[in-house]
A and B are shown apart, each in its own frame.
Chain A
């Protein structure tokens, strides 16, 4: 984050101020204040239960904040939720492509729900399938896809309407290394080609290092530190890995923490994709 940027909403793709979400007495996200510039790939890191998914759900308008404010693509997530929704794409941590439909049918549903007309939809669906390397599988049922193919299809669905901001919740959870790299490749090319702002959550340091220009490490609902991956590593000494940065700021190991429901969700996703 560049401290010289003007503090006006237009300069940022995402801006949050004191964003907070409670579930009963449990504070999932605690007064989160972030500014994410346009075109940045921003990583929210943290162990299970750190508040990553809750943050994404608030920013994608699925979950109203308990208090605080946020704007996405220049619009307030509560007052202008529909304007936000038409400008964002979202790939949930869970498996969101419908296995009982073909890839093309999944894409067509998204296209219509985003208000595209038939001709526009057809063109963009063809392009998206080609971009994701799925042309040959467009008319196959998604339940016959591999985990990596499903994730790429979900990415295709989320980017079909050319959103200003793309949200990815644990984009490669449960994927084998080959499939993971296939998803990373597509994401990097998407970033370079479209200039889209991407906010992704991960608890994987390698992923953060490979994809993200900026990071925030979340721990128990609070931002422990923000910065570019290289700067964070440099701050802990020349030899430090991101793992060490993570351990340093999240006060322990990656596996620690996590409510039952978060763990269950992560495992379900891993099982379905694996």
Chain B
């Protein structure tokens, strides 16, 4: 068990070393949330037709945009894995006796920590826009856990896709096709109640909806949850466990 934890941590730490040496990606990932909040959010907060409870539209969508930035950066994680496959790094990892799930979890943990940095960026933007945020340590701890779990889910999902398609070209195509539907079929920028029934059922199957919900309840002052924290974290944990098991099974495909 201890060896397993160390193996997971070693994979995560290698990933984080690389990220710290080349943080340009972190900056470029900050551009999109700025656009969504400053441009889209400012304009749409003038539309009074979207029922957002006690909070204004801009505050309502802020957790949604954090969830989106988590999704968008994690979903392209597989590109890095395909790059490692083209080099032979994947082969080297897979001939070690380390359990495949430790390799997958290590990558997910690194993605999770990267998500926390993104949360910091979105907090700063929200602060600049005058959105009322919650600063109690418990609320911040929930935001951090939700963001880590969400990043871990979508990066593992991305790894699964990488194991199936195996080439960068096909991966880019699929990544583009998946991100927008996942985003729009969630409660990120409008409440579930506003959606037609079929879209609501899709949104209920979308892990992003539960990430948004948990963030909405813990990030902004007066934010209301549709499902509650136990459902949100329960669903996310279950999805993560399932994805990790699947990714651990598929990971060896990358070396064939």
Interface size in chain B (residues, C-beta < 8 A)? 27
Known: A85-B95, A88-B95, A112-B10. Contact between A62 and B252, CB under 8 A?
yes
| B22 surroundings in chain A (CB, below 8 A) | 100
Look across to chain A and name the residue whose beta carbon is closest to the beta carbon of B6.
Answer: A112
Q: Which of B1-20 contact A (CB under 8 A)?
A: 3, 6-7, 9-11, 14, 17-18
Min CB gap B190→A, angstroms? 40
Among B10, B14, B88, B256, contact of A63 (Cβ-Cβ < 8 Å): B256
Min CB gap B228→A, angstroms? 39
By the criterion CB–CB under 8 Å, are B97 and A92 in contact?
no
Pick out which of these stretches binds chain B: A101-109, A190-198, A226-234, A244-252.
A101-109
- The number of inter-chain residue pairs (CB within 8 angstroms) is 80
Interface size in chain A (residues, C-beta < 8 A)? 33
Min CB gap A272→B, angstroms? 8
Known: A62-B255, A85-B96, A113-B93. Contact between A105 and B88, CB under 8 A?
no
Among A96, A105, A115, A154, contact of B3 (Cβ-Cβ < 8 Å): A115
Asked if B197 is at the interface of the complex by the 8 Å CB criterion, the answer is no
Asked if B87 is at the interface of the complex by the 8 Å CB criterion, the answer is yes
Asked if A131 is at the interface of the complex by the 8 Å CB criterion, the answer is no
By the criterion CB–CB under 8 Å, are B97 and A85 in contact?
yes
How far does the alpha carbon of A101 sit from the alpha carbon of B18 in the complex, in Å? Answer: 7
How far does the alpha carbon of A92 sit from the alpha carbon of B96 in the complex, in Å? Answer: 13
Q: Which of B9, B22, B86, B92 has the most A CB atoms < 10 Å from its CB?
A: B92
| B91 surroundings in chain A (CB, below 8 A) | 62, 90, 92, 94, 96
Asked if B21 is at the interface of the complex by the 8 Å CB criterion, the answer is yes
By the criterion CB–CB under 8 Å, are A157 and B3 in contact?
no
By the criterion CB–CB under 8 Å, are B255 and A82 in contact?
no
How far does the alpha carbon of A92 sit from the alpha carbon of B252 in the complex, in Å? Answer: 15
By the criterion CB–CB under 8 Å, are B88 and A109 in contact?
no
What are the nearest 5 A-B pairs in CB distance?
A94-B88, A112-B10, A86-B97, A96-B88, A113-B96
Q: Which of B225-256 contact A (CB under 8 A)?
A: 252, 255-256
Asked if B117 is at the interface of the complex by the 8 Å CB criterion, the answer is no
Min CB gap B248→A, angstroms? 13
Interface string of A50-77 (1 = CB under 8 A from B): 0000000100111100000000000000
| B14 surroundings in chain A (CB, below 8 A) | 98, 101, 105, 109
